Amino acid sequence: MYAVQSTSTLRRARGALRSGRLRERVGGTVLLLGTCSLLTDISSEMVSAILPLYLVATLGFSPLQYGLVDGIYQGASALVRLAAGFLGDRFKRHKLLASLGYGLSAVCKLGLAVVGGAWAGLSAIILLDRTGKGMRTAPRDAMISLTAPEKDMGLAFGVHRAMDTAGAMIGPLVAFGLLAAAPEAYRTLFLISFFVAILGLGVITLLVREPQEREEKPADAEKPDLKAAAKLLKGTEFRALTIAGSALGLATASDGFIYLMLRDRIDFSDSLFPLLATGTAVLYMVLAAPLGRLADKIGRGKVFIGGYVLLLAVYVLLMTPSAGFVSLLLVLGLLGTYYAATDGVLMAMGSRYVPEELRGSGLALLGTATSIARLLASVLFGVLWTVVGVQAAIALFAAGLVVAMALAVRGLRIAHA
For 110-142, the pLDDT digits (tens) are 887 787 555 566 667 777 888 898 899 989 999
- CA–CA gap between residue 368 and residue 354 (Å, rounded): 15
Which tops the pLDDT comparison, 60 or 1?
A: 60
Nearest to 17 by CA among 282, 286, 336: 286
Which tops the pLDDT comparison, 377 or 114?
A: 377
Query: Looking at residues 275-296, what average pLDDT do you find?
Result: 87
CA-based angle 312:65:273, to the nearest 5? Answer: 60
Please give the model's pTM, rounded to 2 decimal places. 0.74
- CA–CA gap between residue 301 and residue 310 (Å, rounded): 15
Q: Which residues contact 145 (CB under 8 A, 6 or more apart)?
A: 153, 347, 351, 359, 363
Cα torsion for 295, 297, 302, 308, to the nearest 10°? -20
344 pLDDT exceeds 70?
A: yes
DSSP letters along 336-372, please? HHHHHHHHHHHHHHHHHTS-GGGHHHHHHHHHHHHHH
The domain made up of 25-210+225-415 has a fold known as Growth Hormone; Chain: A; (1.20.1250)
CB–CB of 347/141 below 8 Å? yes
- CA–CA gap between residue 17 and residue 12 (Å, rounded): 9
Pick from 184-188, 275-279, 285-289, 304-308 the range whose average pLDDT is largest: 304-308
pLDDT at 181: 83
pLDDT at 17: 46
- CA–CA gap between residue 161 and residue 289 (Å, rounded): 8
Which tops the pLDDT comparison, 127 or 400?
A: 400
- CA–CA gap between residue 29 and residue 147 (Å, rounded): 7
CB–CB of 205/43 below 8 Å? no
Query: Looking at residues 221-238, what average pLDDT do you find?
Result: 72
307 pLDDT exceeds 70?
A: yes
CB–CB of 319/398 below 8 Å? yes
How many CB atoms sit inside 10 A of residue 353's CB? 20
Which tops the pLDDT comparison, 361 or 399?
A: 399
Give residue 58's identity as a one-letter amino acid code.
T
pLDDT at 339: 93
pLDDT at 19: 45
395 band by pLDDT with thresholds 50, 70 and 90:
very high
Query: Looking at residues 65-78, what average pLDDT do you find?
Result: 66
Nearest to 341 by CA among 398, 293, 373: 293
Q: Give the burial string for 391-415 (b: 16+ CB within 10 Å, else e).
A: eebbbbbbebbeebbeebeebbeeb
CA atoms in the 13 A half-sphere facing the CB of 85: 30
217 band by pLDDT with thresholds 50, 70 and 90:
low
205 band by pLDDT with thresholds 50, 70 and 90:
very high
pLDDT at 284: 87
321 pLDDT exceeds 50?
A: yes
Phi, psi (5° rounding) for residue 149?
A: -65, 145
- CA–CA gap between residue 398 and residue 75 (Å, rounded): 22
What average pLDDT is seen over the chain? 82
3-state SS, residue 390 = helix
3-state SS, residue 96 = helix
218 band by pLDDT with thresholds 50, 70 and 90:
low
CA atoms in the 13 A half-sphere facing the CB of 402: 8
328 pLDDT exceeds 80?
A: yes
Pick from 3-17, 95-109, 151-165, 344-358 the range whose average pLDDT is largest: 95-109
22 pLDDT exceeds 80?
A: no
Q: Could you tell me the residue ranges of all domains in the chain?
A: 25-210+225-415
CB–CB of 88/81 below 8 Å? no
pLDDT at 5: 34
- CA–CA gap between residue 163 and residue 37 (Å, rounded): 7
12 pLDDT exceeds 50?
A: no
Which tops the pLDDT comparison, 372 or 197?
A: 197
pLDDT at 330: 93
